[in-house]
């Protein structure tokens, strides 16, 4: 299979050169083909030649390489996907910024896993270093991708359409039609220049940018596709910027409000508050919210889902700084908008109204204490601390059962069988001793440190846990006083969220959607129409070229050809047959083509006098048709 370029009469080829490929005879053969010539050594290159030395990338070269990789579209798409993946932990575990109580509960339920996730910043996902790194890299990648593409697109908009290719028959949707003329002054309407001018006017009306090049017109449109692409990416940068800026000036705060209580939008009123980097107290709009009633609707007919919550409704009364009041409903995913902030319904539960009275009859403690739900039946746990007013400090760990029933194992342990208030019971384990409040160390209102305290009522004490129903009063151990459960109320956990960039995010999100639709559905295409004088008449050629996938390009070229022929005086049915995708049976005067069907003078523009056109010398199909 070896090839040799040795001419005749030069004698046999040397053995060591017998397998050398004639590169000049076969220039397209790959250099690593199995019968190609072996690689030449530096000594074979001849005198004065030098070895090929690959250029080395210096510091600037490596920086340029990494910059091009970072600002490529593939990298931007990968970072966008990575950002979506990095945001997943924020929806799987509670976040300190939106659900601090949930973080405390997660820590109690997963004591071994919590430290690991906390070190990884999972509970502060959106402010963690790894999420911020992906966020910033995506921002830089989009900026580096948009700027050069915008310049290139602007230059393309200012440039002229490209020249007509020499061989239009190689392009998509190619069609060739020859209009036979008889000469004379009346045929000036079918002159190539006139046909090209008609095509130019037609394409301009169709929204194409046109440019005439001699006997042809070049047209293009679809730059709106790249415009939409740039709008999409620019709007995506806008979303990133506004979210970042809005987070810096915004804030999020949580507050547990019991029925009948009023919440004031002031910094000291929040149970937890997470301000942005540039937050100021003056951004808090003055308003009050009173929780009038909290209603929960449970499933009562379907035994398989008995007790499942169907709806939560918080009826509130809002009071503005001017004194105007209005009543509203807050539901899940239906927040209340007031004072430039949105108030969301975050959670709910039960709160017990407890009064602790000293032996002399004075009230040492009186408050409505929220208890945190522990399961779907709203078995709840809470803590009551009485630091003053009694002979000694006491703390009580309480368990509230909305529908209390005994477990049935003889231990007397209670459980709740339904989340609504059917048989409410409050059980209190009482501890006596130093509560540690004077040490100056902050403590959670939902936990009690029992180290150094003595249990005087409960499982480890001589006296069992105190059990109360609404309206009951029981004595504390050791004559410390009495405790009364007055009533049970519902509480709502409200989340107040202020984001000054919401409208901007909505605007940019709309631009993202509009730009994406434009980039996906606006075709980018070029159309050429060429008219040349031949012996048999004027030959018209139509062809198109798409940038990317354009399944309608051939049809668009066909429609342009039909409209153009109709403008030149060709009847619509003849133009349709002449530009159809089916090959004609015969282009001669006796065949089945449009000329043979007796189009006669009506198949030509006004002024044609020949009724018997000469047979076509062109091949059918893509070669062209005669009219």
Q: Which residue has the tokens 């359409």?
A: 161
- Secondary structure string (H, E, C) spanning 206-239: CCCEEEEECCEEEEEECHHHHHHHHHHHHHHHHH
CB of 407 closer than 8 Å to CB of 401: no
Average pLDDT rounded to a whole number, residues 29-35 = 53
CB of 605 closer than 8 Å to CB of 179: yes
Q: What CA–CA distance (Å, rounded) separates 34 from 150?
A: 47
- Secondary structure string (H, E, C) spanning 469-511: CCCCEEECHHHCCEEEEEEEEEEEEEEEEECCCHHHHHHHHHH
- Per the rule left: phi > 0, alpha: psi between -120 and 50, beta: everything else, 446 is alpha
Q: What CA–CA distance (Å, rounded) separates 274 from 267?
A: 10
Q: Can you say how many angstroms the Cα of residue 403 is from the centroid of all Cα atoms in its chain?
A: 45
What is the pLDDT, as a whole number, of residue 419?
94
- 508 has pLDDT over 70: yes
Size of the chain, expressed as the number of residues it contains: 627
- 33 has pLDDT over 60: no
Residues paired with residue 545 on neighbouring β-strands, in sequence order: 526
CB of 586 closer than 8 Å to CB of 596: yes
pTM, entire model: 0.64
What is the pLDDT, as a whole number, of residue 30?
55
- For residue 397, give the 3-state DSSP assignment: strand
- 7 has pLDDT over 50: no
CB of 350 closer than 8 Å to CB of 400: yes
Mean pLDDT check: name the lowest of 234-238, 385-389, 461-465, 604-608.
604-608
Residues paired with residue 601 on neighbouring β-strands, in sequence order: none
Higher pLDDT, 587 or 47: 47
**Residue 564 dihedral angles phi and psi, to the nearest 5°:** -65, -45
pLDDT digits (tens, 9 = 90+) for 546-572: 988 888 999 999 999 999 999 988 888
What is the pLDDT, as a whole number, of residue 207?
92
- Cβ-count burial of 298 within 10 angstroms (0-12 exposed, 13-18 middle, 19+ buried)? middle
Mean pLDDT check: name the lowest of 437-446, 457-466, 471-480, 539-548.
437-446
Task: Give the confidence band of 316 by pLDDT, cuts at 50, 70, 90.
Answer: very high
Which secondary structure element, helix H or strand E, spans residue 155, and what is its range? helix 129-158
Which secondary structure element, helix H or strand E, spans residue 431, and what is its range? strand 425-432
- For residue 161, give the 3-state DSSP assignment: coil
- 101 has pLDDT over 90: no
**Residue 334 dihedral angles phi and psi, to the nearest 5°:** -135, 80
The mean pLDDT of the chain is: 83
Average pLDDT rounded to a whole number, residues 157-181 = 90
What is the pLDDT, as a whole number, of residue 100?
78
Task: Give the confidence band of 38 by pLDDT, cuts at 50, 70, 90.
Answer: low
């Amino acid at each position: 299979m070896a090839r040799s370029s040795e001419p005749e009469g030069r004698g046999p080829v040397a053995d060591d050169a017998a397998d050398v490929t004639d590169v000049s005879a076969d220039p397209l053969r790959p250099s690593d083909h199995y019968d190609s010539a072996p690689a030449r050594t530096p000594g074979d290159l001849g005198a004065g030649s030098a070895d090929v030395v690959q250029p080395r990338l210096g510091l600037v070269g490596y920086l340029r390489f990494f910059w091009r990789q970072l600002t490529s579209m593939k990298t931007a798409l990968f970072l966008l996907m990575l950002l979506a993946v990095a945001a997943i932990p924020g929806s799987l575990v509670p976040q300190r910024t939106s659900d601090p109580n949930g973080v405390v509960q997660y820590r109690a339920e997963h004591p071994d896993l919590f430290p690991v996730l906390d070190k990884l910043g999972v509970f502060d996902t959106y402010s963690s270093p790894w999420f911020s790194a992906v966020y910033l890299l995506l921002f830089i990648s989009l900026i580096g991708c948009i700027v050069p593409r915008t310049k290139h697109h602007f230059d393309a908009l200012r440039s002229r359409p490209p020249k007509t290719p020499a061989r239009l028959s190689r392009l998509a949707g190619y069609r060739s039609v020859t209009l036979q003329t008889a000469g004379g002054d009346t045929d000036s309407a079918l002159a190539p220049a006139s046909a090209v001018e008609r095509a130019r006017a037609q394409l301009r009306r169709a929204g194409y940018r046109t440019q005439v090049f001699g006997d042809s017109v070049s047209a293009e449109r679809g730059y709106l596709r790249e415009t939409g692409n740039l709008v999409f990416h620019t709007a995506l940068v806008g979303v990133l910027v506004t979210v970042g800026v809005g987070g810096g000036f915004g804030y999020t705060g949580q507050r547990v409000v019991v029925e009948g209580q009023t919440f004031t939008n002031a910094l000291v009123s929040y149970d937890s508050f997470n301000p942005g980097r540039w937050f100021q107290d003056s951004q808090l709009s003055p308003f009050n919210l009173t929780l009038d009633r909290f209603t929960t609707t449970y499933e009562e007919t379907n035994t398989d889902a008995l007790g499942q919550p169907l709806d939560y409704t918080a009826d509130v009364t809002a009071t503005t700084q001017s004194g105007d009041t209005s009543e509203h409903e807050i539901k899940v995913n239906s927040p209340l908008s007031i004072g430039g902030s949105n108030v969301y319904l975050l959670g709910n539960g039960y709160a017990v109204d407890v009064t602790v009275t000293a032996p002399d009859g004075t009230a040492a403690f009186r408050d409505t204490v929220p208890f945190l739900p522990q399961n779907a039946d709203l078995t709840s746990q809470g803590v009551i601390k009485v630091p003053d007013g009694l002979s000694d400090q006491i703390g009580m760990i309480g368990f509230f059962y909305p529908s209390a029933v005994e477990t049935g194992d003889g231990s007397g342990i209670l459980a709740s069988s339904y989340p609504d208030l059917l048989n409410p019971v409050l059980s209190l384990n009482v501890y006596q001793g130093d509560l540690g409040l004077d040490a100056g160390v902050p403590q959670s209102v939902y936990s009690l440190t029992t180290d150094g305290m003595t249990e005087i009522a409960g499982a480890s004490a001589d006296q069992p846990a105190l059990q109360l129903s609404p309206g009951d009063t029981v004595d504390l151990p050791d004559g410390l006083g009495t405790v009364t459960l007055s009533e049970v109320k519902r509480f709502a956990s409200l989340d107040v969220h202020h984001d000054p960039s919401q409208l901007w995010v909505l605007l940019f999100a709309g631009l993202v959607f509009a730009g994406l639709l434009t980039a996906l559905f606006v075709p980018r295409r070029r159309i050429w129409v060429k008219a040349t004088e031949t012996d048999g008449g004027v030959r018209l050629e139509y062809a198109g070229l798409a940038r990317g996938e354009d399944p309608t390009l051939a049809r668009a070229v066909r429609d342009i050809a039909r409209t153009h022929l109709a403008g030149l005086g060709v009847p619509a049915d003849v133009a349709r047959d002449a530009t159809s995708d089916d090959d004609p049976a015969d282009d001669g005067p006796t065949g089945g083509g449009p000329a043979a069907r007796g189009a006669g003078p009506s198949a030509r523009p006004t002024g044609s006098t020949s009724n018997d056109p000469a047979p076509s010398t062109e091949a059918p199909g893509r070669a062209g048709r005669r009219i």
